[in-house]
Amino acid sequence: MLKIKNLHVEVDNKLILNGLDLHMGTGQVHAIMGPNGAGKSTLGYVLAGRDGYQVTAGSIEFMGQDLLAMSVEQRAIAGVFLAFQYPVAIPGVNNSYFLRTAVNARRVARGEQPLDGMSFMRVLREQAKLLDMDAKLLQRSVNEGFSGGEKKRNEILQMALLEPTLAVLDETDSGLDIDALRIVSEGVNRLRSTNRSMLVITHYQRLLEHIVPDVVHVLADGKIVASGGKELALKLEDQGYAWLQDERESRQAS
Amino acid sequence: MTELLEQLNPPQTAALHAAQRAAANQQLQRLGLPDQRSEAWKYTPLRALSTMQFDRSDSIPETALRQLAAALVEPPDQAADDPTAIIVIAGDQCLLVHTPDWVQSMAELLRTDTDTATGLLQPDAQVREQASDSFIWMNLAQCNNGVMIAVPPGMKLDQPLHIVYADPAAASQSQAAASANHIRVHIHCGAASAVTVIEHFVHAGTSFSNIYRSMEVDEHASLDLLQLRAAGDAAVMIEHSHILQQASSSCRLWALDTGGRLSRQEVRCALQGKNADFAHHGLLLGHGRRHMDQHVMAHHSAGDCRSRQLFRSVLADKSRAVVNTAALVGSGADGSDVQQHTASILLSANAEMDAKPQLEILADEVVASHGATIGQLDDDALFYLRSRGLTTAQARTMLLRGFVQTVLDTLPEALRIAAVERVVAAQLEMLL
């Protein structure tokens, strides 16, 4: 489903990802953990196609296609979804109008009939209810004046509506209290499916108690330095990231 | 610029008015036309105007004027009893369609009702104080068209009144000679009356419109005025709007401006009675080489009045806008509440925005705020929308829509008309 090979990425001429390799199978949930500045968010942005992230070497293959050759919107249509760490507020743009435009952009690009206002509102209300989201938020401007938790719910709502093949969740737990974390995680878990893969980027193990990953990777200094099962996350929580550094140094020494 | 002044020929007028016109003309000749050395005209060259050659244009057939009105103004709801009242002002013709008897053509007044016309050819107190507005003196000397609306006290109108300003080219759909028109508009809202006026500017050829508008809003009366300026590339519009507000009155203006070769409006509002509300909302959408000016001054001389000045501008290509928001809170006008906000998006490196917020406060207890921002479309927001599958064009349109919506959201129900949507949609498409 996703094959990242030897990925090198520069931002403002500074090397952030330095030979990252990652393979994900269909229906799998992978977690990426790592210290601040390791390049976790950069990986999310590169997958989504943000400007300013220059790929200097390596490749990304998504569903057999060259992802790096595609525009931001082509990737979205093809099924890549990034849940933002800091969702952007868009004053003056009605949230449900934005959501419908996004859903219909995808439907039309795939040769499907666009949803009319009524049918869309039905789907929208249903999904919002599952996320325990106040219906008023659907009629407000996109993310404007939303609390941290409301913004994250709005991200998961978009994910539910856009039904991606690959969802990248960038620090979805940041800024959430315990209740919001549970609701958002439940929302994500409902969307787990055999034909949907998820890449969960997080700083803390606590999110992974709710969204249990199949594979955990540790990203440090721009590459994956360790991979394992969910117990790896527990070990990181327990011992921090320092032991990895020691291990790598001793490996390099031998 | 003297060429322009030499081209002016006062229209035929009653003998009584002749002396007044001569005095106004003298004032105009003494002042000359403003140039960029004066602060108010610093960013506004008058080249487009000074190179115009005017002809007396042929009169337009009445059927053409009626067609013009019908095309612009939607018929009222089936449920409504009254047909839409429309005033068409084109060249030196004024056509009144379904208007009540308190709406009178200025041309007609100049011919018949001497006293009222004499009054309207006098400068108001604000002009006399300033004495520097050449174009107002020009208007008084040359006035050849216009309308007087005197809403009786207590009268509340459900349907808006429409005023259509057109040139011969717009009416005949063909290129006609350049025309110069000096239009006098007077709106008097009697105590506790309520009226909504919609102005449509549809000049299609080369034209110069010099409009002097005076509006008096008496106690507890309310006036809503929407200006839809969607003229052609060769239209020059220079306008002065003077507002006089009494206690507990409300006056709200919306200037939806897509410009012309040059479009400029100076608004001066005198808040003379306590607890009055004044609001001016501007939405300036420029493309090509269009130039738009809005200069607004709210003068609080009584206490407990509110003034709002809200502007959104989007400028593409080599277009330019000047937004000057000012408020003067006189001594003793305690309890005044003043807000000014101007935000602009430049879509091109060659577009230019000159914003000048000004506050002068001489009273003690006042709430006042002002702010101005100028920027580009937000890259983060563009990326966010594209990452949800919107094309770049869709994303840009959506962001601009959101940006202008702030102003459109302030429109009351009566002004949420299809023509607004038409002008905004067409212009946003042009900008992107």
φ/ψ of residue A13, rounded to 5? 65, 15
Helix (H) or strand (E) holding B297: strand B291-300
Helix (H) or strand (E) holding B186: strand B179-189
pLDDT digits (tens, 9 = 90+) for B194-216: 999 999 999 988 889 999 999 99
**pLDDT number for residue B75:** 65
d(CA B397, CA B330): 43
Contacts A98 to B, Cβ<8 Å = 385, 388, 398
Query: B128 Cβ partners below 8 Å, 6+ apart?
Result: none
Q: Which two tokens stand for residue A19?
A: 């030979």
pLDDT digits (tens, 9 = 90+) for B84-108: 899 999 888 899 999 999 999 998 8
Contacts A105 to B, Cβ<8 Å = 388-391, 394
Contact A73 B379 (CB under 8 A): no
**pLDDT number for residue A166:** 97
d(CA A66, CA A80): 13
**pLDDT number for residue B12:** 62
Q: Directed axis angle between helix A95-109 and helix A117-130, to 10°?
A: 110
Closest by CA to B163, choosing from B86, B249, B91, is B86
The neighbour count for residue B414, using CB atoms within 10 Å, is: 15
Under the banding of pLDDT at 50, 70 and 90, the label for residue B186 is very high
Is a pLDDT exceeding 90 seen at residue B81? no
DSSP letters of A122-146?
A: HHHHHHHHHTT--THHHHSEETTT-
B156 burial level (CB within 10 Å; 0-12, 13-18, 19+): exposed
**pLDDT number for residue B218:** 98
Closest by CA to A161, choosing from A189, A133, A126, is A126
Mean of pLDDT values over B278-302: 96
**pLDDT number for residue B356:** 94
Under the banding of pLDDT at 50, 70 and 90, the label for residue B14 is low
Contacts B398 to A, Cβ<8 Å = 90, 93, 98, 101
Helix (H) or strand (E) holding A91: strand A90-94
d(CA A196, CA A79): 9
The radius of gyration of chain A from alpha carbons, rounded to an integer in Å, stands at 18
d(CA A249, CA A253): 6
The residues spanned by each domain of chain B are: 2-376
Contacts B392 to A, Cβ<8 Å = 73
Is a pLDDT exceeding 80 seen at residue B56? no
Helix (H) or strand (E) holding B323: strand B320-329
d(CA A121, CA A107): 16
Q: Are B429 and B286 in contact (CB under 8 A)?
A: no
**pLDDT number for residue A235:** 84
Residue in B377, B378, B384 to test binding to A, most A beta-carbons within 10 Å = B384
Contacts B406 to A, Cβ<8 Å = 91-92
Closest by CA to A155, choosing from A220, A89, A226, is A89
Is a pLDDT exceeding 80 seen at residue B113? no
Which sign, positive or negative, has the C-alpha torsion A29, A31, A32, A36? Answer: positive
d(CA B199, CA B218): 21
Helix (H) or strand (E) holding A95: helix A95-109
Percent of chain B with pLDDT over 70: 92
A26 burial level (CB within 10 Å; 0-12, 13-18, 19+): middle
The residues spanned by each domain of chain A are: 2-253
Contacts A87 to B, Cβ<8 Å = 384
Using a CB–CB cutoff of 8 Å, tell me whether A191 touches chain B. no
Q: Directed axis angle between helix B418-431 and helix B392-408, to 10°?
A: 140
Secondary structure string (H, E, C) spanning B252-294: EEEEEECCCCEEEEEEEEEECCCCCEEEEEEEEEECCCCEEEE
Q: Which two tokens stand for residue A33?
A: 């953990």
**pLDDT number for residue B300:** 98
Question: What residue in B sits closest to A142 (Cα-Cα)?
Answer: B402
Q: Are A90 and A98 in contact (CB under 8 A)?
A: yes
* Amino acid letter for position A222: G
Query: B1 Cβ partners below 8 Å, 6+ apart?
Result: B32, B33, B35, B46, B50
Q: Does domain A2-253 have CATH number 3.40.50.1240?
A: no
Sheet bearing B320-329, strands edge to edge:
B103-105, B145-151, B179-189, B207-217, B235-245, B262-271, B291-300, B320-329, B352-361
Top-confidence residue, B130 or B331: B331
Under the banding of pLDDT at 50, 70 and 90, the label for residue B131 is low
The C-alpha of A68 sits at a distance from chain B's nearest C-alpha, in angstroms, of 14
**pLDDT number for residue B329:** 97
Q: Measuring CA to CA, how many Å separate A53 from each of A13, A56, B2, B232?
A: 10, 9, 59, 44
d(CA B356, CA B201): 26
Is a pLDDT exceeding 60 seen at residue B7? yes
Residue in A80, A88, A169 to test binding to B, most B beta-carbons within 10 Å = A88
Contact A51 B379 (CB under 8 A): yes
**pLDDT number for residue B128:** 72
Among the partner-chain residues B391, B405, B409, the one whose CB lies closest to the CB of A73 is B391
Torsional class of B225: left (φ above 0), alpha (ψ -120 to 50), beta (otherwise): beta
Residue in A74, A77, A90, A99 to test binding to B, most B beta-carbons within 10 Å = A90
d(CA B286, CA B262): 11
Question: What residue in B sits closest to A94 (Cα-Cα)?
Answer: B402
Using a CB–CB cutoff of 8 Å, tell me whether A231 touches chain B. no
> Does the interface ipTM go beyond 0.90?
yes
**pLDDT number for residue B55:** 72
Q: Which residue in this structure is represented by tokens 């507020």?
A: A89
Contact A102 B388 (CB under 8 A): yes
DSSP letter, residue A69: G
Closest by CA to A146, choosing from A121, A180, A120, A179, is A180
**pLDDT number for residue B79:** 54
Under the banding of pLDDT at 50, 70 and 90, the label for residue B175 is low
Closest by CA to A6, choosing from A81, A45, A60, is A60
Under the banding of pLDDT at 50, 70 and 90, the label for residue B1 is low
> SS3 for B29?
helix
d(CA B324, CA B364): 24
The neighbour count for residue A24, using CB atoms within 10 Å, is: 20
Question: Across the strands, what pairs with B85?
Answer: B161
Mean of pLDDT values over B134-146: 91
Per-residue pLDDT in tens (0 to 9) along chain A, 254 residues: 999 999 999 999 999 999 999 999 999 999 999 888 889 999 999 999 999 999 999 999 999 999 999 999 999 999 999 999 999 999 999 999 999 999 999 999 999 999 999 999 999 999 999 998 999 999 999 999 999 999 999 999 999 999 999 999 999 988 888 888 998 899 899 999 999 999 999 988 889 999 999 999 999 989 999 999 988 888 888 887 777 777 777 766 66
**pLDDT number for residue A83:** 96
